[in-house]
Structure formats: C-alpha cells, structure tokens
Amino acid sequence: MNRKLISTASVLATLLSFAGPMAAQAADPIKIGVLEDQSGDFALATIGKVHGIQLATKEINDAGGIAGRPIELVIYDTQSDNTRYQEFMRRVLQRDKVDVVFAGFSSASREAYRPIVNQFDGLAFYNNQYEGGVCDANMIVTGAVPEQQFSTLIPYMMEKYGKNVYTIAADYNFGQISAEWVRNIVKDNGGTMVGEEFIPLGVSQFSQTIQNIQGAKPDFVVTLLVGTAQSSYYEQAGSANLDLPMASSVNVGQGYEHKRFTPPSLKDMYATVNYVEEIDTPESKAFVEKFHAMFPDEPYINQEAENSYAAVYLYKEMVEKAGGSTALADVRATLADGNLCYDAPEGKMCIDPKSQHTSHTIYLAHVLADHSIEFPKTWDDIKPYWLGDVGCDLTKSDPSDQYTPSHLPAN
C-alpha cells in the first residue's frame, strides 16, 4: 500500500514537472515586492500606500492583468526601520525573485536599500515625495521633488506674507537637503533666512523651539517635520499662540495633520501637494470613492497613496509597451520618448527619461481655521527638470548617485 502510494506520487510528480512550465507560461504572475512601513513611527503615513497598491492591483487583475498576466504582491512590513529595508530588499530580489519593488518612505530608508537594488540590478519604484536628486537607472520616482514643491511654494509665500523665513526641519538627509533648497530659493528671491533649526527624529517637545521662532520674528515658518513624534509641534505651537503662517512640502499631504489636530492649530498652513483627498475634480472623487469601497476605514488618502496607486498603472504601461517583458533594459527602453504617461487621479503623470522622475500637477493646499482645505492655486504639468538641468542623463550613463544643490555632477 505504502509503496503503491509512493509510486503513484512519483508518477504524478513527474507528470507535473513536465506540465509545470507549460501551465506557468500562460498564467505566470508578475510579482511586485512591496516594502512599506506598516508599523513604527512612519506607519501612519504609509499604510495608505500599501492600500493604494492593493487597490490598483485588484483593478488591474479584474481587468485581465498586465499583458495577460496577473499581478502577485509580495508584501513585507519594514517597521520604520532602515535595516529591515535592507533585509527585505535582499529577500524580495533573491528569494522571492520579484519583477519590481515598490519601496520606501523616509529618504534614509531609500538610501539604505538603493545599493542593494543596484547590486542585483533590479528595478525599484520610490513612490514618495522627497528632497530630490537621485540619479539612478534602477530607480523610478513617482513622488514630487523640490523643483515641483518649493519653486512653487516659497515664492508664493514670500509674496503673500513677507521675506523673512524660518525653517524647522527633521535632522536627516531629507530635512537637511530640503532646507538647503529652501535657503537657495529664499536667497534667489531676495529674502532672508532669519533662522533654521534641525530637529532630531523622535523629538516631541517644542516649547523652546517655538520661543526661538518668536524671537527671530519671521514672516512665515517652513515646517519640514517628519514622523508622528515631531508632528506634536503643531499642537504645541497652536497652544502657545505662535500664530504664524506655515509652509511645507511634507505636512498635510503626507501626515494629514489637519485631520489629526484640533482646529485651529494648523490654520494658515500652505502645502504644495500633488494629491490630497480634498481635491475637487471628478477623477479625484471617483478615486476616493473606489478607495473607500475597498478600505472603508482608511483615515485619509494622502499624496503618497495616490503615487503608489499610479505607480502600479505606470509599471503596467511600461511592461505592456515592452511587449510583456519585465527585463530592466526592456522596460527602461519604453521611457525613451518621454511619452510614458498615466491619467492619475491628480491629472496626467509622465516619466521623464533623463531622471526617471515624474511630472505632476501641483496643488497649493491652504488649511483654513476650521481645518478645511482650499486650493488657491494649481500648477499644471510641472516637470522634474532639475536633475536634467544639472547634467543627469540616465539614457547615457548611470552614476547611481544622489545630487544636491551643493553636490553636483562633476562635468
């Protein structure tokens, strides 16, 4: 009996091993690795990104998949911890053999995993706004960058409120480089930096910082605060009656502080976002409805959730244009003519072949006293031009470097 069973099993196994490759050809899924922080300090802003990816995946799979192949998601929780990114990046590329990875919230985490993507010559989408400058053929960035967020925001604020600017920023690569951008733009527009303070991640008490700001008498404050601990700033500044207009590239559009704090602590916060759920267009409303149908308890749909959602569609477009191939060279070749676009909930997004960053519609979100949002200004189709201007051209060479205004390509 036993022997019979074994022999039957071995016959079956042999048959299956022949049938395997043939069956696989038709329905072999396209694997997307998803490394996002679903716990820890950043979870609040990033769980929506995973949901955005899941929503797009469901829609695409229901409509027949990418080039006839279904999408399979391989999701790991990176716990707001840079070493987890490195571990899981190795795991998805080596063991799970995914075709593409969607990864990263903080810039520190992106810089932690990027060398590993380079090492295995993989493809990673970074679906997050950031300080800009990554010139790396293995990376595609769908988030907004400083030339899209600050070149619009800072001149607007200086014109409206005055030329004395105070920056408080999270003390790591994102905050430092973003603050450098703000400094340069303020100087170019004839303004003065009356103060600048970098706050270590995890700091939650801002009493003294608030007083330093009051002492410097700025016309407005640029807040580049990251993580849930630092967002306590708004409540404390509000209760000390600081009452200064604020400008930000990360707040509201990422951490939905206007929903979490009691009005009017975020009154007169201005943020340049490429998406927030309050945007009042038919496309945006339809997106919010679909999102809530699948995730009824979603507290807020931020710009990174929309970037992540759009990224799945952009990748679909790339693979289908490449004739179903997921090889890095083939999918990158589809970017060459600059016409790799997707009509996202925010408006049209196109990937720039030189920098592999994405063009955006930028909305100026203004938080009112009751914490509702108005959009006094919209900029259509802002290109991620800075990297191309300073000499990054990924169609010619791949330096795999990150440039900043004070670290430019050597040519």
Stretch that binds other proteins, among 197-205, 287-295, 304-312, 323-331 (CB under 8 A): 197-205
Collapse the DSSP code of 253 into the 3-class scheme (helix H, G, I; strand E, B; otherwise coil) and give the result: coil
CB of 273 to other proteins, least distance (A): 19
Residue 239 near other proteins by CB under 8 A: yes
Q: N- to C-terminal Cα distance for the chain?
A: 76
Whose Cβ is closer to other proteins: residue 124's or residue 199's?
199
Q: Which stretch binds other proteins (CB under 8 A): 12-20, 63-71, 93-101, 214-222?
A: 214-222
Minimum CB separation of residue 104 from other proteins in Å reads 18
**Among 17, 25, 208, 406, which residue sits at the site for other proteins (rule: CB under 8 A)?**
208
The dihedrals phi and psi of 232, each to the nearest 5 degrees, come to -60, -15
Among 74, 75, 240, 322, binds other proteins (CB under 8 A): 240
Question: Binding of other proteins at residue 75 (CB under 8 A)?
Answer: no
Q: Please report how close the Cβ of residue 197 comes to other proteins at its closest, in angstroms.
A: 4
String of b and e for 141-162 (b: at least 16 CB within 10 Å)? Answer: bbbbbbbbbbbbbbebbbeebe
Distance of closest approach, residue 160 Cβ to other proteins, in angstroms = 23
- Residue span 155-184 as binding mask against other proteins, x where in contact by CB under 8 A, dash where not: ----------------x-------------
SS3 labels along 94-106: HHCCCCEEEECCC
Contact partners, residue 169, CB within 8 Å, separation at least 6: 175, 176, 178, 179, 196, 197, 198, 199, 222, 223, 224, 225
Alpha-carbon gap, residue 222 to 233, rounded angstroms: 12
Residue list 1-40, contact with other proteins (CB under 8 A): 39-40
* Closest CB to other proteins among residues 201, 362: 201
Stretch that binds other proteins, among 85-93, 202-210, 345-353, 364-372 (CB under 8 A): 202-210
- 214 near other proteins, judged by CB under 8 A: yes
CB closer to other proteins out of 295 and 315: 295
Does an H or E element contain 215, and which? helix 207-216
Instruction: Please name the amino acid found at residue 286.
Output: A
Q: Which of 61, 232, 281, 404 binds other proteins (CB under 8 A)?
A: 232
- H or E segment to which residue 342 belongs: strand 341-344
Rounded to 5°, the CA angle 232-237-239 comes to 100
CB of 200 to other proteins, least distance (A): 6
- Contact positions with other proteins (CB under 8 A) in 247-306: 259-262, 265, 297, 299
Residue with smaller CB distance to other proteins, 77 or 147: 77
Q: How far apart are CA 378 and CA 268, in angstroms?
A: 17
Cα torsion angle, 34, 40, 41, 44, sign:
positive
Least separation in angstroms between CB 47 and other proteins = 6
Tokens of 349: 């997004």
Closest approach of Cβ 259 to other proteins, in Å? 8
Closest separation in Å from C-beta 241 to other proteins? 4
Q: Are 259 and 343 in contact (CB under 8 A)?
A: no
Decide if residue 54 touches other proteins (CB under 8 A): no
What is the H or E stretch that residue 283 is in? helix 282-294
Beta strands in 249-326, from DSSP E residues, in sequence order: 269-273
Distance, CA of 117 to CA of 83 (rounded, Å): 14
Question: Using CB under 8 A as the criterion, which residues of the chain lie in contact with other proteins when the complex forms?
Answer: 39-41, 43-44, 47, 171, 197-200, 202-205, 207-209, 211-212, 214-215, 217, 228-229, 231-232, 235-236, 238-242, 259-262, 265, 297, 299
